[in-house]
């Protein structure tokens, strides 16, 4: 049965049901209705950004860097914890953790928050970029523009980059120990995280010593729901091996005709050259490169990252007319 989500949420959420701040949005799923958490900052009739966090199973918390930049630029933005994450309901229902269901969740959230194509930008970082691409392929008529941050359009290509570039540059004794822990299914061992932090995270996830990681990032890492993350992404932090293993939408990017910004970083876990090429496959794509950044370039190359993001949100077609 096809559900008219616009009419459903028109009944569920009256125009005065929220006036900014936190809103719990009911989401219909094949297993019943659950609530997801959102929080609005600002009000802008031309630009409203829905932020899709990474993971899967992470939270909105590391996006709190936006608070230092977007309000001053007058950008309206919406934090959102996906179902099973953070402040949202956390059902113990493994069948819910699929791309298709998450796409429909995003559409329900969009309707509930009143975000229309005259101002709706979808921003996805890491796994959120996968979700943004999938949403656009189904619902791009709802969008004014899209941002894909630190995410390649192909998991096989991401894994190939990890194998050919990231792992060969590591201490090979350390890499062997990491691989041994993964092979033994012992990734919950504190030693596994210790090795990754010292030999991978501080080079490719956030380029600072762990003691200098911003509190929202540390808090967000502590709140990752592994019951979602592991089945979809896989237990390894050096590539993907879960349900996303064969995901590849590169050949479909030409179908997404809304203005799209791809953000890559020189030290990312994702191949910046691939992401730059990716941007050329979108008919109205552009690329922002963060030369000092890694996977969380919004922290370790902040000025470049947010200046480019704000420029795009204010004038998404600028680069197409110069």
Q: What is the pLDDT of residues 187-246, one digit of tens each?
A: 999 999 999 999 999 999 999 999 999 999 999 999 999 999 999 999 999 999 999 999
126 has catalytic annotation: yes
| Residues in CB range of 193: below 8 A, 6 or more apart | none
> Could you tell me the pTM of the whole model?
0.92
* Residue closest to 299 by CA, chosen among 169, 149, 166: 149
For residues 213 and 207, give the distance between their C-alpha atoms in angstroms, rounded to a whole number. 9
Which pLDDT band, with edges at 50, 70 and 90, does 318 fall under? confident
100 has catalytic annotation: no
Domain that holds residue 83: 5-156+245-320
Q: What H or E segment, with its residue span, contains residue 97?
A: none
Q: What H or E segment, with its residue span, contains residue 80?
A: strand 76-81
Q: Domain of 83: which CATH number?
A: 3.40.50.1820
204 has catalytic annotation: no
- In this structure, are strands 260-265 and 285-290 parallel, antiparallel, or unpaired? parallel
pLDDT tens sequence across 81-104? 999 999 999 999 999 999 999 999
* Residue 121, both tokens: 């930008």
Assigned domain for 65 exists: yes
Q: How many domains are there within the chain?
A: 1
Omega within 30 of 0 (cis) for the link into 56: yes
78, 200, 267, 295: which is the annotated catalytic residue?
295
pLDDT tens sequence across 70-86? 999 999 999 999 999 99
Assigned domain for 227 exists: no
* Residue 225, both tokens: 């729901």
Phi, psi values for residue 248, rounded to 5°? -155, 115
236, 267, 268, 294: which is the annotated catalytic residue?
268
53, 60, 88, 126: which is the annotated catalytic residue?
126
- Quick check: 239 and 162 in contact, CB under 8 A? yes
């Amino acid at each position: 049965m096809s559900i008219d989500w616009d009419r459903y949420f028109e009944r569920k959420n009256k125009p005065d049901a929220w006036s900014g701040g936190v809103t719990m949005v009911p989401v219909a799923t094949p297993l019943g209705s659950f609530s997801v958490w959102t929080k609005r900052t600002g009000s802008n009739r031309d630009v409203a950004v829905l932020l899709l966090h990474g993971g899967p199973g992470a939270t909105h918390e590391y996006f709190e860097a936006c608070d230092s930049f977007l309000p001053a630029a007058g950008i309206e933005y919406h934090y959102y914890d996906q179902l099973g994450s953070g402040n949202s309901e956390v059902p113990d229902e493994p069948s819910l953790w699929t791309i298709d269901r998450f796409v429909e969740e995003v559409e329900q959230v969009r309707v509930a928050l009143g975000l229309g194509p005259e101002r709706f930008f979808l921003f996805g970082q890491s796994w959120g970029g996968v979700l943004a691409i999938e949403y656009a392929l189904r619902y791009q008529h709802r969008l004014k523009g899209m941002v894909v941050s630190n995410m390649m359009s192909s998991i096989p290509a991401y894994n190939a980059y990890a194998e050919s570039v990231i792992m060969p540059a590591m201490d090979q004794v350390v890499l062997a120990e990491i691989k041994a822990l993964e092979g033994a299914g012992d990734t919950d061992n504190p030693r596994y995280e210790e090795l990754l932090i010292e030999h991978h995270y501080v080079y490719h996830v956030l380029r600072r010593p762990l003691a200098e990681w911003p509190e929202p990032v540390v808090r967000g890492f502590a709140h990752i729901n592994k019951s979602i993350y592991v089945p979809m992404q896989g237990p390894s932090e050096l590539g993907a091996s879960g349900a996303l293993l064969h995901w590849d939408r590169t050949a479909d990017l030409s179908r997404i005709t809304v203005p799209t910004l791809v953000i890559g970083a020189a030290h990312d876990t994702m191949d910046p050259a691939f992401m730059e090429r990716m941007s050329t496959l979108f008919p109205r794509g552009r690329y922002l490169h963060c030369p000092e950044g890694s996977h969380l370039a919004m922290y370790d190359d902040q000025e470049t990252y947010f200046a480019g993001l704000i420029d795009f949100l204010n004038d998404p077609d600028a680069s197409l007319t110069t």
